[in-house]
Amino acid sequence: MKSEKDAYRKALDIIASLRIDIESVRLDRYYSGQSILDDFSENTKIFIIPRKNSRIRGSRRWREIILRFMNDPAAYLRGYFRRSNSESGFSADKRTTGHMIFQRRKDRIETSGFCKGLLHNLMLVNG
């Protein structure tokens, strides 16, 4: 019901309101611009696949990301593809719910999505 970018912005707002310090983040090509650096602190390790037309020019943090990718692509990609764990979790959640949330009110939609994610994580922990 929402765009991916809206969900991303809302997640950043929640993280900021809870004062959570993110250690690392893995983002797809949709987020592979230099402006993404403004969303995270200096301590956050960012893994992205640069666009074809990406340049090394830019801030120090941007150059570090590009150089990490260029210097050891295998290690960088191992770190980047750790995001497949969360992608498979999203896919499992969608399959179990039939890709639908039946609530109509915004607060109930958000609560339903949160509860489904929480149950999925609890089932992984208790295996």
**Per-residue confidence (pLDDT) for residue 125, from 0 to 100:** 67
Residue 120, φ and ψ in degrees, nearest 5: -60, -45
What is the residue extent of each domain of the chain? 14-71, 84-126
Of the spans 48-52, 70-74, 106-110, which averages the highest pLDDT? 70-74
Question: Which residue in 68, 69, 76, 40 sits closest to 52, CA to CA?
Answer: 69
pLDDT class of 96 with cuts at 50, 70, 90:
low
Which pLDDT does position 16 carry in this prediction? 92
The angle at the Cα of 92, spanning 19 to 126, to the nearest 5 degrees, equals 70
Q: How many CB atoms lie within 10 A of CB 50?
A: 16
Question: pLDDT tens digits, residue range 16-57?
Answer: 999 989 999 998 888 888 888 999 999 999 998 888 787 788
